[in-house]
Chain A
């Protein structure tokens, strides 16, 4: 194998054969080491969240990746190819009104989809969180009504400590109930200021300087999306757990979690929070 080993021959056959072997070995080892090194760097730069969402998004089915404008019917069937980050999306930009700020201003009022409340004063993230601007310019982040109902009374949400950095689409909170865990994505870029004082929201966040709400859903769009989500959950539950039902006589049950078996709850939770 090596020139100093008994029986080694200096001839073309040996040199070619062992040359190829060592090249292959080096390439394999080098590639693995490179992957390790890059992983190390990613972890050091605290970019796991980005990788997490990237991987999670890859695993979504085409239906789950459906473009928000396809949900509302503005576009024919289309899948998102930007990992649900509309902030740089050309199509999204094209479909918007010229006055972007107006288009993204939160409205007011209350809507509902199959009994799930969709307050219109806030922006919704596709991972079932919402953002509401507080008076002081900070943001309040909370679980939407479906998320709340899923977790029910005995579910908890682990929130990051004050000072933690949040980035859009990266895991921010962990929902827990009866030993089931699911990650909840952050709808905003910003710094956690601490738990929210009002009961509805989870945390108060100081938004990052360039924070925009372009990627978030609002208004009627949110209602359409919520309907789509309920449908998706229902189908997914049927596909993986049998015939569980979210709705109770046309309206989604208040304490959904209690209606579902552990397995159903687990599936519903994961799918709702996009943690498959």
Chain B
């Protein structure tokens, strides 16, 4: 009986696990969500001493998480851009999923940011008294606006739930929103371009941190553009990866192979471009930017261990060039395992890049008599991290179960059944 509780909410013609199985799947995530909520409550009530951040590691796991999920969530804007503006119609098969991923990533990031700042009650000061020269201002404005856009983009997906669309007005609103979606796709692209970039700029402008500082164009350091490019490169990869994972977990085919191929091809091209520019940038930094600020670049890697040159190699070659090549070669790309593996590597590469800019920048000393410091997050930080992951999992799972994330699913299921 329990298994049939939510049948009326599930779209017709697709197969979903019985409700009890779904509960079983959701329960651990919900538990993680509760633990995370408790950790967040502690931080909000008592202050940030619950974290292991300190005056040197002013940013920790959370900012790393924010940067990473926002890079990975770039799939939302970029898929929308490809679909609505460049008219890559096959991507219609993943756009809803991409929107939900984007929503989850951005809302998770904003939520963690609200905990990460010391005085969340004053968050609106950034809007009311903005310092437009700060990259963080740009980030705050764009992320907030883009989150709004994502919410608006999510509305049609949401309204198409079987029970909701029974009310004619819901469907009508969905229809009209969908008709103007290209506007949101364009706005989303504009906003994403600026905040992905300014997240990179965030570190690139730090004059006092020669490890992160980069020369740039006008007010934007090179990291601005590299972050945009890397996010665009890895966004489709992440969409492919999540779709692949969803297929694995649900055991159903959700999108056609051509969609994977399109995503992989686009990701591969952009990744290659990114690796090229990243190499240029790194060479410029090693030979000019850093020495000019008084820090020969080799000093940054003297500490070895966790922060040795292997990071540079892994970031650019192992997790940049290699997946780019795999994704670009059609024969390799055609193999699902290789394609998803390369997508995962690309995602890891960008994650590592964000790690380098947040954590390694802070780990390295600037003053000659200071030393390298290491940091390990507290359980509260991990739990809050888990909160975002669990929240994402739950929102995605609920969306998958009750909304139509993959419009091709029914067709593919019928094709399968016919066989």
Contacts and interface: CB of A to CB of B under 8 A. Distances in A.
A175 to B, nearest CB: 13
A7 to B, nearest CB: 5
Q: Quick one: which of A5, A21, A43 has the most chain B CB within 10 A?
A: A21
Contacts of A51: 168, 171-172, 175
A179 B149 CA distance: 37
- Closest 9 pairs (CB-CB, A-B): A48-B168, A270-B12, A239-B417, A239-B413, A61-B411, A238-B417, A17-B132, A35-B176, A39-B173
Contacts of B258: none
B32 to A, nearest CB: 31
A28 B404 CA distance: 25
B179 interface: yes
Interface residues of A, number: 51
A36 B173 CA distance: 7
A7 B126 CA distance: 12
Given A14-B132, A235-B418, A262 B7 contact: yes
Interface stretch (A52-60, A106-114, A126-134, A150-158): A52-60
A28 to B, nearest CB: 6
A63 B411 contact: yes
Interface in B12-48: 12-15
B410 A61 contact: yes
B90 interface: no
B410 A55 contact: no
B91 to A, nearest CB: 16
Contact of B175 (A5, A54, A239): A54
A98 to B, nearest CB: 37
Interface residues of B, number: 49
Interface in A1-20: 1, 5-7, 13-14, 17-18
Interface in B96-154: 127-130, 132-133, 137-138, 141, 145, 148-149, 152
B417 to A, nearest CB: 4
Contacts of B404: 59
B172 A267 contact: no
Interface stretch (B183-191, B350-358, B371-379): B183-191
B418 A1 contact: no
A267 B129 contact: no
Interface of B: 4, 7-8, 11-15, 127-130, 132-133, 137-138, 141, 145, 148-149, 152, 160, 165-166, 168-169, 171-177, 179-180, 183-184, 187, 190-191, 404, 407, 410-411, 413-414, 416-418
Nearest to A59: B407
A39 B172 contact: yes
Given A5-B129, A51-B168, A51-B172, 20 more contacts: A1-B128, A17-B130, A24-B190, A25-B145, A27-B183, A27-B187, A28-B152, A31-B184, A36-B173, A43-B169, A51-B175, A236-B410, A239-B13, A239-B15, A240-B12, A266-B12, A267-B13, A270-B13, A271-B13, A276-B13
Nearest to A34: B180
A94 B95 CA distance: 38
B50 to A, nearest CB: 33
Contacts of A181: 166
B7 A266 contact: yes
Nearest to A48: B168
Given A28-B145, A28-B149, A271 B132 contact: no
Contacts of B137: 17
Interface string A134-177: 00000000000000000000000000000000000000000000
